[in-house]
Chain A
Amino acid sequence: MAHLLLRHRDIPGLNNIEVYKQNGGFRALEKAVTTMQPKQVMEEVKASGLRGRGGAGFPTGIKWSFLPDTIWPHYVVCNADESEPGTFKDREIMEGNPYQFLEGVALACYAVGATEGYIYIRGEYYPIAKQIEACIAEMEKQGYLGDKLFGTATSIRLKTHLGAGAYICGEETALLESLEGKRGQPRLRPPFPAVVGLYGKPTVINNVETLTNLPFIVEHGAPAFREFGTEKSPGVKIFSLSGNVERPGNYELPLGTTFRELIFTHGGGIPNGRKLRAIMPAGASSSIIRVDETNFDKVMDTPMDYENVQSVGSLLGSASVIVIDDSHTMDWVIKKTIDFFQHESCGKCTPCRDGNYWMKHLTTRIHAGKASAADVKLLDSVAAQVYGKCLCALGDFSTMAVRSAIERFPEDFAKVTGKS
């Protein structure tokens, strides 16, 4: 099947504007700007059932419709701060297929009546940001961005903003704070960004992959988009596959593809004759799915979409599937995830800031084999007290791997606390 998002894999040189144009580039933008009202674009995206690809899975068209028509200007902000451990999909889109992505950003601007869009790119993607800036300049030169697009009164301008190394800035209100020149710390909600966003104005924040879907939806219509994926999770998704697999990488597949197809057919299975022991389908923020002989087929045949991954005790999130083989134990895995979250906690909410500090001490001690069973209980209790008590989801995310590991892999903790 031809790719819809990773089209550069089928069409070499697609990051050149001429090649992009020869392959239908900017047809959707021209169609929208010259023949459709902004509301019609919004309705088409609503009808497509497109859901946010950054992790939360919220319907994109509905998100847009929350912007009030009484307050102006509106802003579109693209979240290109991809930094969940295990996620590397937005990067490939921006590197390989930048014009389809930028056309998507422009379409979002048109749909919500924004004349300015910002693309917030993580600082580590510096060379990618330079390329995106060059692409924007090229589009301006050729009249696909700027004033009087396609001879109409529509103006759309896009600008990049480079982050500087903070996972929290992928959280949308922290991202806005950062763009406003402050420390990236989440805001209290409500008000939601759709009403009070960038510079206090109504703002739409969408992920790179989400926006890259828009040209197809606008050009071919919602029914064509719905031919892929499932009823509730339409479309294709880029699965970032990492960890103990033969062929890690990005795989664009319809939502609802099974774990078996991703990990074994595309990923080539587990190397070195090892066995699959655990899966984290949403990166470091996942509850850990235990895989053993009792549930192997059930997990493997689970369709990866927003609903079904829950049935095996986790979430799809941004579909960053980390595969863990049986040479690893979960006391080590959660030490790794907590190292990450403790470092990335922005420090604003006490349960997350202090909770992660204590969880780091406990996971380090447990992994070193210097802990007792009571320490494991304490760790679980600290995690339980962080959960649901913070302004943003980072606090919750930090507890997912910890609590599921303790519950689902008791033998790993019995071993390190000397009670096997």
Chain B
Amino acid sequence: MLAEKYPREIQAIFAKYPVKRSAVMPLLYLAQREEGYIKKESMQEIADMLELDVTEVAAIVGFYTMYHDEKAGKYRMQVCTDLPCALRGADLFLESLCENLGIRVGETTPDGLITLEEVKCLGGCHRAPLFQIQESDTVTFHENMTVEKTMELVEALRKTVNT
């Protein structure tokens, strides 16, 4: 239960807004913290807290791309392939990442470490190719990337997980 696990965070979130419902987005991030996706039970709990129907909460999860309702790899590697990035080789970059990781876009490495995703503009067009890594409720940017640098990062992440 979120309420038992994060009482102080939840209190701070509610204090931010004069209307309860506004808390839904930060609460969903909180629900995503543990396993990188939002479980049905958490949606129900948030719905109860906000006096909403669970369908309304699920509709919000479905609307925003950074909320997930299915388990994926520990790290979601999200590569931007929009026009400005593509002009600087992002499509090729993504293609060779697929080859190096041995997976297609949308798939997860067999060890459950990386899920590779293609996303829309991240606001780093001048430092393409780039991707963000979504893990738990955090995001980190990796810019001016090459396939070599990315594979080194993947190895480093693999080591952190295994130790």
The answer to whether A and B belong to the same complex is yes
Please report the C-alpha to C-alpha distance between residue A320 and residue B24 in the assembled complex, in whole angstroms. 32
The answer, among A163, A181, A184, for a CB contact under 8 Å with B22, is A181
Determine if B126 and A240 form an interchain contact, defined as CB atoms under 8 angstroms apart.
Answer: yes
The answer, among B21, B122, B125, B138, for a CB contact under 8 Å with A240, is B125
Determine if A249 and B25 form an interchain contact, defined as CB atoms under 8 angstroms apart.
Answer: no
The interface-forming segment of B3-11, B63-71, B101-109, B152-160 is B63-71
| A83 proximity list for chain B (CB < 8 A) | 120-121, 123
- Number of residues on chain B facing chain A (CB within 8 A): 41
| A100 proximity list for chain B (CB < 8 A) | none
| A337 proximity list for chain B (CB < 8 A) | 83
Determine if B84 and A124 form an interchain contact, defined as CB atoms under 8 angstroms apart.
Answer: no
Q: Closest Cβ of chain B: how far from A132's Cβ, in Å?
A: 14
Determine if A164 and B84 form an interchain contact, defined as CB atoms under 8 angstroms apart.
Answer: no
The answer, among A82, A162, A242, A249, for a CB contact under 8 Å with B29, is A162
Contact code string A177-193 (vs B, CB < 8 Å = 1, else 0): 01111111000000000
Whether, in the assembled complex, A413 has its beta carbon less than 8 Å from a beta carbon of chain B, the answer is no
Q: Closest Cβ of chain A: how far from B72's Cβ, in Å?
A: 15
Q: Which residue on chain A has the smallest CB distance to residue B15?
A: A159
Interface centre among A167, A248, A344 (most CB of B within 10 A): A248
Q: Which residue on chain B has the smallest CB distance to residue A184?
A: B63
| B59 proximity list for chain A (CB < 8 A) | 183
Whether, in the assembled complex, A140 has its beta carbon less than 8 Å from a beta carbon of chain B, the answer is no
Majority-rule SS of A interface residues: mixed
Whether, in the assembled complex, A161 has its beta carbon less than 8 Å from a beta carbon of chain B, the answer is yes
Determine if B122 and A124 form an interchain contact, defined as CB atoms under 8 angstroms apart.
Answer: yes
| A182 proximity list for chain B (CB < 8 A) | 21, 60
| A240 proximity list for chain B (CB < 8 A) | 125-126
| B16 proximity list for chain A (CB < 8 A) | 159, 161
| B82 proximity list for chain A (CB < 8 A) | 85, 284, 336, 339-340
Please report the C-alpha to C-alpha distance between residue A8 and residue B97 in the assembled complex, in whole angstroms. 35
Interface centre among B22, B23, B24, B138 (most CB of A within 10 A): B22
Determine if A165 and B21 form an interchain contact, defined as CB atoms under 8 angstroms apart.
Answer: no
Determine if B21 and A88 form an interchain contact, defined as CB atoms under 8 angstroms apart.
Answer: no
Whether, in the assembled complex, B132 has its beta carbon less than 8 Å from a beta carbon of chain A, the answer is yes
| A38 proximity list for chain B (CB < 8 A) | none
Whether, in the assembled complex, B50 has its beta carbon less than 8 Å from a beta carbon of chain A, the answer is yes
Please report the C-alpha to C-alpha distance between residue A126 and residue B136 in the assembled complex, in whole angstroms. 12
Whether, in the assembled complex, B139 has its beta carbon less than 8 Å from a beta carbon of chain A, the answer is yes
Determine if B121 and A242 form an interchain contact, defined as CB atoms under 8 angstroms apart.
Answer: no
From known contacts A337-B83, A344-B120, infer whether A183 and B126 are also in contact, taking CB-CB under 8 Å.
no
| A343 proximity list for chain B (CB < 8 A) | 120
Whether, in the assembled complex, A364 has its beta carbon less than 8 Å from a beta carbon of chain B, the answer is no
| B141 proximity list for chain A (CB < 8 A) | 124, 127
| A244 proximity list for chain B (CB < 8 A) | 87-88
Determine if B18 and A199 form an interchain contact, defined as CB atoms under 8 angstroms apart.
Answer: yes
Whether, in the assembled complex, A399 has its beta carbon less than 8 Å from a beta carbon of chain B, the answer is no
Determine if A180 and B19 form an interchain contact, defined as CB atoms under 8 angstroms apart.
Answer: yes
| A82 proximity list for chain B (CB < 8 A) | 123
Please report the C-alpha to C-alpha distance between residue A346 and residue B63 in the assembled complex, in whole angstroms. 8
Whether, in the assembled complex, B124 has its beta carbon less than 8 Å from a beta carbon of chain A, the answer is yes
| A178 proximity list for chain B (CB < 8 A) | 25
Q: Closest Cβ of chain B: how far from A72's Cβ, in Å?
A: 13
Whether, in the assembled complex, B163 has its beta carbon less than 8 Å from a beta carbon of chain A, the answer is no
Q: Closest Cβ of chain B: how far from A189's Cβ, in Å?
A: 21
Determine if B83 and A333 form an interchain contact, defined as CB atoms under 8 angstroms apart.
Answer: yes
| A126 proximity list for chain B (CB < 8 A) | 138-139
Determine if B126 and A242 form an interchain contact, defined as CB atoms under 8 angstroms apart.
Answer: yes
The answer, among B23, B50, B86, B125, for a CB contact under 8 Å with A88, is B125
Q: Closest Cβ of chain A: how far from B152's Cβ, in Å?
A: 21
Chosen A-B contacts, 24 in total, with CB atoms closer than 8 Å, are A83-B123, A85-B83, A85-B120, A88-B126, A124-B122, A125-B123, A161-B22, A162-B25, A162-B26, A164-B28, A165-B65, A180-B19, A184-B64, A240-B126, A242-B84, A243-B87, A244-B87, A284-B83, A322-B125, A339-B82, A340-B120, A340-B121, A343-B120, A346-B63
Query: 4 closest A-B pairs (Cβ-Cβ)?
Result: A164-B64, A165-B65, A181-B21, A242-B125
Beyond A242-B88, A333-B83, 10 additional pairs, beta carbon < 8 A: A91-B123, A125-B139, A127-B141, A161-B16, A179-B22, A181-B60, A184-B64, A240-B125, A242-B87, A336-B86
